[in-house]
Amino acid sequence: KNNLNERVELPVYKDELYDLSSGINQLLQRIENAIERERQFTSDASHELRTPLASLRGTLEVLIRKPREIKEYEEKITYSLTEIDRMTETTEQLLLLARLDANNNELNKILISLPSLINEILVRYDKDILIKNLKVELQIQNKTELLVPKYHANLILDNIINNAIKYSKHNQSIIIQIISIDNSILCKIKDEGIGIKHEDIPNVFNHFFRSEALEHKHISGNGLGLSIALKSAEAINAIISLESEPNAGTTFKINFLSKS
Ligand code: ADP
């Protein structure tokens, strides 16, 4: 009789378990769909924004070359062109974020030596370094070949080095250190700039986050640079961390897996 009872109870229990597991599956599926929809939305939105921005820019460029009696026109058009450039930059960065979500593994296969990548990036910012009279020092602790995936490492380091330059004051120093430990490479980027308030540190990787602190407001940006750096790091299993003190400076650390 006992055996029979067990057999009667079992299907009820099984049904409930089945409901639970199919409920979880449905939930997971819905989360996956939502993530996919968001990715698709960002990509579509960026494509849709690109075309009107390019055509607006074209129109204004024609207008600015025409003779005009009123000085105000020139100022207004110049202002509009600057705003269009800002929007174009944000659009390009959103599109890049959507593409990084798609994670193209083929891109991870192109390797570059870390010191030469850093030198390539520094050349891009020559003018800003010169204008602010910054002292940028690259210290390499180990001479063995330090190879990293070029595409993603460039996106990480470009954004972090750009910030170190942007948030430094005139005549300050930036030290970039490369230390190789076993099969990982640690890259430290240390600036002496305006620093980040402690309560802001957990938010710096959020999309569009910009510190409300006064010194930060005078510096232009859209708050997407570090989101791109973080997403690129995830694609190649690199780890980014940071330490910062307001008015003393910021140090970003990136841990790359060394490739050979
Ligand atoms: P942004 O375009 O605003 O620079 P990011 O995503 O690159 O956007 O950085 C987010 C925010 O983190 C910045 O607005 C700034 O407040 C802070 N931040 C990032 N790097 C630094 C740095 N090296 N020194 C001081 N603040 C920084």
Residue 2: is its pLDDT beyond 80? no
Percentage of residues in the chain having pLDDT higher than 90: 48
pTM, to two decimals: 0.82
Residue 109: is its pLDDT beyond 50? yes
Residue 220: is its pLDDT beyond 60? yes
- 3-state secondary structure (DSSP) of residue 1: coil
Number of the ligand 1 atom closest to the C-alpha atom of 249? 24
Lowest mean pLDDT segment, chosen from 4-8, 216-220, 254-258: 4-8
Q: Give the integer Cα–Cα distance in Å for 192 and 173.
A: 6
Mean pLDDT of the chain: 87
Q: Residue 206's pLDDT is what?
A: 94
Instruction: Say which residues have a Cβ less than 8 Å from residue 246's Cβ, sequence separation at least 6.
Output: 194, 195, 196, 197, 213
CA of 160 to the centre of ligand 1 (A): 8
Give the closest residue (by CA) to ligand 1 atom 14. Answer: 210
Q: Residue 104's pLDDT is what?
A: 74
Q: What is the pLDDT of residues 240-260, one digit of tens each?
A: 999 999 999 999 999 998 765
Q: Residue 59's pLDDT is what?
A: 83
Q: What is the pLDDT of residues 29-83, one digit of tens each?
A: 888 888 888 888 878 888 788 888 888 888 888 878 877 667 777 788 888 888 8
Residue 172 binned pLDDT confidence (cut-offs 50, 70, 90): very high
Residue 4 binned pLDDT confidence (cut-offs 50, 70, 90): low
Task: Judge contact between 75 and 103, C-beta under 8 A.
Answer: no
User: ipTM score of the complex?
Assistant: 0.99
Average pLDDT over residues 220-239: 94
Task: Judge contact between 231 and 207, C-beta under 8 A.
Answer: no
Q: Residue 11's pLDDT is what?
A: 54
- 3-state secondary structure (DSSP) of residue 197: coil
Any residues with Cβ below 6 Å from ligand 1, and which? 159, 163-164, 167, 191, 193-196, 204, 209-211, 216, 221-227, 250
Q: Judging by beta carbons within 10 Å of its beta carbon (0-12, 13-18, 19+), is residue 126 exposed, middle or buried?
A: exposed
Number of the ligand 1 atom closest to the C-alpha atom of 193? 24
Residue 1 binned pLDDT confidence (cut-offs 50, 70, 90): very low
